[in-house]
């Protein structure tokens, strides 16, 4: 949800992005910028992730599709967009909470790409994070450059992205099956919530993992 104007962004298998007014319940904007016929012959038609740039420009929305693209939209002028090609279908997106120029896209091939919106179109680095699709990513809101990744390989990893040289600093199989969603706590830098295929919610307390 975009906090600055009571907006909610939704995505769909029809490859469209819609912006809703949660007060009136009306759909104010429908965007079809991922509907590229040439690419959609090669990829499934499905937008799978959106992320508002809440910390710097809350009217800017990222969207990621299984067509192998990430797009940035200024929702005040939704007819224009900027697009980054990525190496596989997009599963999840997240803006860096400490700098609104950076974002990550997790992909179906087990990698995570790190971008600076000022430097296009190539990513700054590609992280070979997992052996299967990276379904969810979460930045630590209380620690700079700390990113968690969750995957269909049933593991969760924590990365230090400092100096654009990512290092895995912790890894865990939380025994919840394929990982579908992860989220760092906004109140405790060591707490990470993990949801998986087995229908369980696991709380990983990383204060016992040797992370300082």
Judge if 85 and 38 occupy the same domain: yes
Judge if 82 and 149 occupy the same domain: no
Instruction: Tell me the whole-structure pTM to 2 decimals.
Output: 0.89
Domain CATH code at residue 86? 2.130.10.10
Judge if 31 and 77 occupy the same domain: yes
* pLDDT recorded at residue 208: 75
Judge if 124 and 160 occupy the same domain: no
Q: Which of 132, 156, 151, 147 is closest to 102 using CA atoms?
A: 147
156 domain-assigned:
yes
Chain center to CA of 184: 13
Judge if 178 and 119 occupy the same domain: no
Instruction: Say which range, 46-50, 76-80, 116-120, 131-135, has the weakest mean pLDDT.
Output: 76-80
CB-count burial class (<10 Å; 0-12, 13-18, 19+) for 76: exposed
Judge if 124 and 180 occupy the same domain: no
Judge if 157 and 108 occupy the same domain: no
31 domain-assigned:
yes
Domain CATH code at residue 165? 2.40.10
pLDDT surpasses 70 at 4 = no
pLDDT surpasses 70 at 33 = yes
Tens-place pLDDT, residues 38-88: 555 555 568 999 999 988 888 899 999 988 999 998 888 877 788 999 999
75 domain-assigned:
yes
pLDDT surpasses 90 at 1 = no
Judge if 113 and 42 occupy the same domain: yes
In the chain, beta strands by DSSP E: 7-11, 17-21, 27-31, 47-53, 57-65, 69-74, 81-85, 90-95, 102-107, 111-116, 125-128, 134-139, 146-151, 156-160, 167-172, 179-184, 191-196, 201-205
Domain that includes residue 186, residue range = 141-211
Judge if 87 and 146 occupy the same domain: no
Q: For the chain, how many structural domains are there in total?
A: 2
């Amino acid at each position: 949800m975009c906090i600055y104007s009571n907006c909610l962004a939704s995505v769909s298998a029809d490859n469209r992005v819609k912006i809703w007014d949660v007060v009136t319940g009306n759909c104010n904007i429908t965007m079809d910028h991922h509907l590229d016929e040439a690419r959609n012959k090669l990829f499934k038609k499905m937008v799978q992730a959106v992320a508002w740039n809440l910390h710097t420009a809350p009217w800017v929305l990222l969207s990621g599709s299984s067509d192998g693209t990430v797009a940035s939209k200024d929702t005040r002028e939704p007819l224009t967009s900027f697009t980054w090609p990525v190496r596989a279908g997009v599963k999840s997106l997240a803006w860096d909470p400490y700098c609104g120029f950076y974002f990550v896209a997790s992909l179906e091939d087990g990698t995570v790409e790190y971008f600076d919106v000022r430097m296009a179109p190539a990513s700054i680095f590609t992280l070979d994070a997992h052996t299967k699709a990276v379904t969810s990513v979460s930045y630590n809101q209380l620690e700079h450059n700390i990113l968690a990744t969750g995957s269909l390989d049933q593991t969760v990893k924590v990365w230090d992205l400092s100096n654009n040289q990512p290092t895995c600093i912790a890894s865990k199989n939380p025994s919840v099956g394929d990982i579908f969603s992860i989220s760092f706590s906004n109140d405790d830098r060591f707490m990470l919530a993990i949801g998986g295929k087995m229908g369980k919610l696991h709380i990983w307390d990383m204060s016992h993992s040797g992370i300082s």
